[in-house]
Structure 1
Amino acid sequence: MYTRILVATDGSTLSKKAITSAIALAALSGAELVAVKVTPRYPQSYFEGSLPLNPTEVSKIEKQWADDAQKMLDTVVKAGKAKGVSVKPVVVKSDIVSDAIIATAKKQKADLIVMASHGRRGIKRLLLGSETQQVLTHASVPVLVLR
């Protein structure tokens, strides 16, 4: 059925449910799981909302974000191993989460993307947008959205 499934996580409760479902689906179909966490880049200018920090401090902040993402993905690897699923952790640095997820799915040759929907409605959805909606709209592989 599937050979490589990509699951996107942001550490939220809903994305943890998506991880559980993705692991179960990977175990059922004998697929490899690619777990991806997108981390932002530190804002570079005052107009982007950055605080005036020197490059060393910016590097420390970005390293902390990457380390936190890796720890999050390590728990996915551990959960996958417990179910007999091979999990490849991938940390991606990007300001546009949906583009990073789609690009990672393409690079990793995933044939399914699994992610959570945060269920925003009305004006919040219009103002905040939806990374899930963007992935659904622009991905070239099937997307399984879990609530």
Structure 2
Amino acid sequence: MYKRILVATDGSKLSQKAVEHALSLADLTGAEVVALKVVPRYPQTYFEGGVTLAASEVARIEKQWQTEAMDAVNAVKAAGQLMEVKVKPVTAKGDLIAEAIIATAKKQKCDLIVMASHGRRGIKRLLLGSETQQVLTHSHTPVLVLR
């Protein structure tokens, strides 16, 4: 059925639900899991008149983000090993998370994307946005959304 399942994670409790489902589905179908965490390209300040960061500070922050991302995807790999499911940990840099998820799914030849959604509606969805909605709208790969 599925050969390669991409699961998007940020290490949060909500994304853990997506990870558990992706691993269970992979176990049932014999699929490989690609665990993905998207990392922003560089720190941005949104405050008017904000101070720009020194290059060394930018490098430190980017390194910290990459380390945290690897910790999140390696946690998925460890959970997969307990279930005897092959997990490939992957990080991607991008300011548009949904775009990075879709691009990684295509690059890794995934045939399913699994992700969690907060289930926001109305004004909260407009103000906070929805990466899941963007993936659902623009992906040619099937998407399984968990709430």
1:99 aligned partner: 99
Please give the alpha-carbon distance, in whole angstroms, between the structure 2 residues aligned to 1:49 and 1:71.
34
CA apart distance, 1:127: 1.5
Structure 1 moving runs of 4+ over 3 Å: 43-51
Point out the more displaced range, 39-48 or 64-73. Answer: 39-48
Please give the alpha-carbon distance, in whole angstroms, between the structure 1 residues aligned to 2:31 and 2:97.
24
Q: Which runs of 5+ in 1 are unaligned?
A: none
2:58 aligned partner: 58
Aligned-CA RMSD value: 1.8
Q: Does residue 139 of structure 1 match 2:139?
A: yes
2:121 aligned partner: 121
Percent sequence identity over aligned pairs: 67
| Matched position secondary structure for 2:5 | strand
Please give the alpha-carbon distance, in whole angstroms, between the structure 1 residues aligned to 2:45 and 2:74.
32
**For each residue in 1:2-47, what CA deviation from the matched residue of structure 2 results, as whole angstroms up to 9, or x when unmatched?**
0000000112211101100000000100000000000112246777
1:70 aligned partner: 70
| Matched position secondary structure for 2:90 | strand
2:130 aligned partner: 130
Q: Which runs of 5+ in 2 are unaligned?
A: none
User: TM (normalized to structure 1)?
Assistant: 0.94
User: TM (normalized to structure 2)?
Assistant: 0.94
Are the equivalent residues in 2 in contact too, given 1:46–1:52 (CA < 8 A)?
A: no
Please give the alpha-carbon distance, in whole angstroms, between the structure 2 residues aligned to 1:2 and 1:42.
35
Are the equivalent residues in 2 in contact too, given 1:42–1:50 (CA < 8 A)?
A: no
Matched ranges for 1:75-86 at <5 A: 75-86=75-86
**For each residue in 1:98-124, what CA deviation from the matched residue of structure 2 results, as whole angstroms up to 9, or x when unmatched?**
000000000000000000011111101
CA apart distance, 1:49: 8.5
1:10 aligned partner: 10
Are the equivalent residues in 1 in contact too, given 2:43–2:58 (CA < 8 A)?
A: no
Aligned residue pairs: how many?
Answer: 147
